[in-house]
Structure 1
Amino acid sequence: MVKGEFAVPSLGALADEVAAVLAERRDPGVESFERVLNAVVSHGYRDREALATALGSVPRAFRLKPHSQLQSLGSVVGAAVEPVQAQTSWEKVGAGWLELCQHVALDYIAGARVGEVAARLRAGDHVPFLLSAPSGPTGAVEPYDLVARLAEYERLGVRPGPADLGQALLRCGGPVDPEAVRAAEGLELEEGPRVAAWLRQGGLPRPVWWREREAGEPERPSRRRGARIGRRIYVGHEAIEGRGAFPRAFWSLFRKFEPHLSCPHWSMPDYRNAHTVATLPWHPEIAAARLLAGVASAADQDGCGSPSFLHALATTDGPAGPAVHLAVAYGLASVPEQDREAAVRALVLLAARGRLDGELLGRELAELVGLGTLKVPLLTESLRAATVAPQGAGAVWAVLATALPGLVACTRPQVHGVLLAVSADSARLSGARGELPEVTALAGRPGSSRLLKEARRLRDALAGV
């Protein structure tokens, strides 16, 4: 019932993949994580004894404080190979959950699913496969795949786990599939009507957003390591309807999100990854909005990078709004080089898939530079790299056509020449036409400095000369 890159491997192949994941000692990525998780569940259903033999020594290897995703796999593998505790009720798992921070709402969901899977394995209540196993690399579950899996649960007399089903529903979205809705309406499972209604409405409703600038004015540069002098822009959203049928650990997602609330996680590096985006693949805005503070910290402080998070935001099929564009903006001027490279790839990918709003990103870049949050030399370096990327020149010009007047107005003359050079290259390579009055006025000044030469080159490129 699970196909493609997430299909269940043989026991030998599963043991080899688990060994490879352990040897890497780092985030295994969405595909490997989800494939291993589903495979452990499926082999436990088929032959738990054989699974325990194949993976019997694995749990001990997971105790070396690895990446959080490895810890999750370790808990599931351990529950699958240890003796069954039939007296334990898996249905009580998560009953004592307490929300500590709205920023990590998607991690609560991922944790609830892993906790439920481990508890069912520990109790010996096996299922043939996970309802929430992705249908594709973004983490999305195709509506008809979910209905087909539920139909197989119905045939086998297996009860869906609330967290597994909840995660599966959150991974369904996009255009309504009438055939999948009709199939869901034909299910005899208790959950059938709920699933049909969810698919009929197109998945999780999109919240109402607002954009919020940090209070205060930019401060003078400080010598303190990690000090922040600029002001950030965040995104919040109103409450989302429909939380009642989901487990309590999911409720944080549905609450109103206020981005300036204090948070004990600070830059939250453990949550800025592709797994977080794959938890809600049709809503990259929600993931981006809740983790913008961490993404921004790599640009205006000594924060950790988040390259896989930036790339994942661009690869989803959900709408890219203000939060996604702000995440790319922060990434383009991040101090870690790998973040800048990931932001460049995200910029080009968004444009190639028709999801880039060049005017929006241009406005955000200009304002963030004016607020002292982004460093123009790093931003310019990223835009130059994007310009020479395949099909990247058009994306860069779509951004600079809006951003350039503001960037020139709020930056030092020393950086104008390089910035205008990148602008001229992107305009020429993309075949852009038009006029920017600020550039035309600059190009008309007498002199032979690089600033004036690049302004004239940009003016001529836009004029088709």
Structure 2
Amino acid sequence: MIKGEFAVSSPGALADEVAAVLAGRHDPGVETFERVLNSVVSHTFRDREALAAALGSVPREFEVNPHGQVRCMAGIVGAAVGPVRAEESWESGVAGWLELCQHAALDYIASARTGEIAARLRAGDPVPFLLSAPSGPTGAVEPYELVERLAAYERLGIRPGPADLGQALLRCGGPVDPEVVRAAERLKLEEGPRVAAWLRQGGLPRPAWWREREAGEPERPSRRRGARIGRRILVGHEAVEGRGAFPRPFWSLFRTFEPHISCPHWSLPDYRTAHTVTVLPWHPETAAARLMTGIASAADQDGSGSPSFLEALASADGPAGPAVHLAVAYGLASVPEGDRQAAVRALVALASRGRLDGELLGRELTELVGLGTLRVPLLTESLRAAVAVPQGAGAVWAVLATALPGLLDRTRPQVHGALLGVAADAARLSGARGGLPEVTALAERPGSSLLLRQARRLRDALAGA
């Protein structure tokens, strides 16, 4: 039922992978985490004693606080190899759940799934495989595979876990073959009609979005550590219908999201990973919007980076809209070098998949620079790096063709020369033609400064000279 890179590992290979994940302390990545998670579940179902023998010697104590996914894996392994507590009910795990922060909506879903898995293992009620195991690297579950897995549950007389099924449904999206819907309708499971209806509508509905600029005006530069000078642009969305069929920890996702809502966290670094995006692979806009404050903090404060998150947004199955493009804009001028490199890869990935809206990204960059939020030297460095990779020049020119007119009016002349040089290289390498009045007027001014020389280079490149 689970194929490809997420197929169940052999007991020996599983033991090696678990040991490597727990010893590494770092994020194991989506493919490894999901494969190991599903393998532990499957082998517990097949032969719990053999699994305990294979994994019993794997240490699960840490001298240094590990990544959240590592701690989660240690808990799952402990539930699988520990004693069975048949008197416990795995179905009552969310009774006391309380929403604390709307920014963490996708983490609530991920935690509900792994918590349910651990509780089910402790109660001695394992399942043959996870309904929510991904079908591919983005985290998406193919609808026909979900129906096949549910049919196998039906034959075995196993009840789907609400959180596992809920996560599987959120990982389904896009057009669905009518025959797959009819197969879901033929399921005898209690959940069959709900699954069929969900697939018929194409998965989670897309909410209405809005873009919101932070109140106030840019301030004068400050030397105070952590002081934020510029003003951010964030994205919010309206409520989504259908939450009642999901477990309570899923409900936060369905609420209206106010982008400037107060939050007890600062930058939520553990949530800004590829794992977060794979919770909802058909809706990268939601992941980007919910965690935009953390992404922005890496550009205008001393926030920690989120490179895997940025790349996962660009590679997700769902459409890239205002939130994804805004996240890339912040990433291109982030202080952590890893974020800038990831944003470059995300920019090129969007372009290679035909999902880059150059005008949209160009407008966002222009406004964020004008608000004092992005640093032009860092942005220039990122765009120069993007020009040097295949398909990068076309992507950069698609962005700068919109951004340059505004940027030329808003930033220091000494910065323009470097930025115009990047634009000239991008235009020449991509074969762009046409003209920008602001650049032409600048190129015709007398003088030999770097700014004027690069303006002439760009003018000539656009003229095909």
Q: Is the structural similarity TM-score above 0.5?
A: yes
Once the two structures are superposed, what CA deviation does each residue of 1:130-161 show, in whole Å capped at 9, x if it has no partner? 00000000100000000000000000000000
For residues 11 and 455 of structure 1, what CA distance do their matches in structure 2 show? 63
Partner of 1:443: 443
1:361-372 aligned within 5 A: 361-372=361-372
1:11-410 aligned within 5 A: 11-58=11-58, 60-61=60-61, 65-410=65-410
Provide the TM-score with structure 1 as the length reference.
0.99
3-state SS in 1 of match to 2:425: helix
For residues 204 and 293 of structure 1, what CA distance do their matches in structure 2 show? 24
3-state SS in 1 of match to 2:244: coil
For residues 372 and 415 of structure 1, what CA distance do their matches in structure 2 show? 14
Once the two structures are superposed, what CA deviation does each residue of 1:92-114 show, in whole Å capped at 9, x if it has no partner? 01111000000010000000000
For residues 317 and 352 of structure 2, what CA distance do their matches in structure 1 show? 13
Give the superposition deviation at 1:279: 0.4
For residues 232 and 147 of structure 2, what CA distance do their matches in structure 1 show? 43
Instruction: State, as a whole percentage, how many aligned pairs show the same letter.
Output: 83
Conservation of the 8 A alpha-carbon contact between 2:288 and 2:327: yes
Conservation of the 8 A alpha-carbon contact between 1:439 and 1:455: yes
Conservation of the 8 A alpha-carbon contact between 2:25 and 2:65: no
Once the two structures are superposed, what CA deviation does each residue of 1:419-446 show, in whole Å capped at 9, x if it has no partner? 1100000001000111100001001111
Question: Which amino acid is 2:343 matched to?
Answer: A
3-state SS in 2 of match to 1:174: coil
For residues 64 and 10 of structure 2, what CA distance do their matches in structure 1 show? 27
Once the two structures are superposed, what CA deviation does each residue of 1:10-69 show, in whole Å capped at 9, x if it has no partner? 110000001111222100000011001100000000000001111113363358531110
Question: Which amino acid is 2:77 matched to?
Answer: V
3-state SS in 1 of match to 2:424: helix
Conservation of the 8 A alpha-carbon contact between 1:386 and 1:396: yes
In structure 2, relative to structure 1, the CA distance for the partners of 1:367 and 1:104 (3 Å cut) is same
Question: Which amino acid is 2:298 matched to?
Answer: A
- How many residue pairs match? The answer is 465
For residues 424 and 443 of structure 2, what CA distance do their matches in structure 1 show? 12
Conservation of the 8 A alpha-carbon contact between 2:9 and 2:39: yes
Once the two structures are superposed, what CA deviation does each residue of 1:322-344 show, in whole Å capped at 9, x if it has no partner? 00001000000000000000000
Conservation of the 8 A alpha-carbon contact between 1:443 and 1:455: yes
Give the superposition deviation at 1:242: 0.6
Conservation of the 8 A alpha-carbon contact between 1:177 and 1:199: no
Conservation of the 8 A alpha-carbon contact between 2:19 and 2:59: no
For residues 63 and 79 of structure 1, what CA distance do their matches in structure 2 show? 21
Conservation of the 8 A alpha-carbon contact between 1:31 and 1:137: yes
Conservation of the 8 A alpha-carbon contact between 1:424 and 1:458: yes
Conservation of the 8 A alpha-carbon contact between 1:369 and 1:410: yes
3-state SS in 1 of match to 2:100: coil
Question: Which amino acid is 1:250 matched to?
Answer: F
For residues 11 and 351 of structure 2, what CA distance do their matches in structure 1 show? 41
Question: Which amino acid is 1:399 matched to?
Answer: V
3-state SS in 1 of match to 2:235: strand
Conservation of the 8 A alpha-carbon contact between 2:299 and 2:333: yes
Conservation of the 8 A alpha-carbon contact between 1:59 and 1:75: no
Question: Which amino acid is 1:290 matched to?
Answer: R
3-state SS in 2 of match to 1:212: strand
For residues 348 and 186 of structure 1, what CA distance do their matches in structure 2 show? 43
**Structure 1: 4+ residue segments shifted above 2 A:** 57-65
Provide the TM-score with structure 2 as the length reference.
0.99
Conservation of the 8 A alpha-carbon contact between 1:58 and 1:77: no
For residues 261 and 50 of structure 1, what CA distance do their matches in structure 2 show? 49
3-state SS in 2 of match to 1:210: strand
For residues 443 and 65 of structure 1, what CA distance do their matches in structure 2 show? 56
Question: Which amino acid is 2:35 matched to?
Answer: R
3-state SS in 2 of match to 1:58: coil
Gaps of 5+ in 2: none
For residues 282 and 57 of structure 2, what CA distance do their matches in structure 1 show? 38
Conservation of the 8 A alpha-carbon contact between 2:22 and 2:74: no
For residues 25 and 89 of structure 1, what CA distance do their matches in structure 2 show? 31
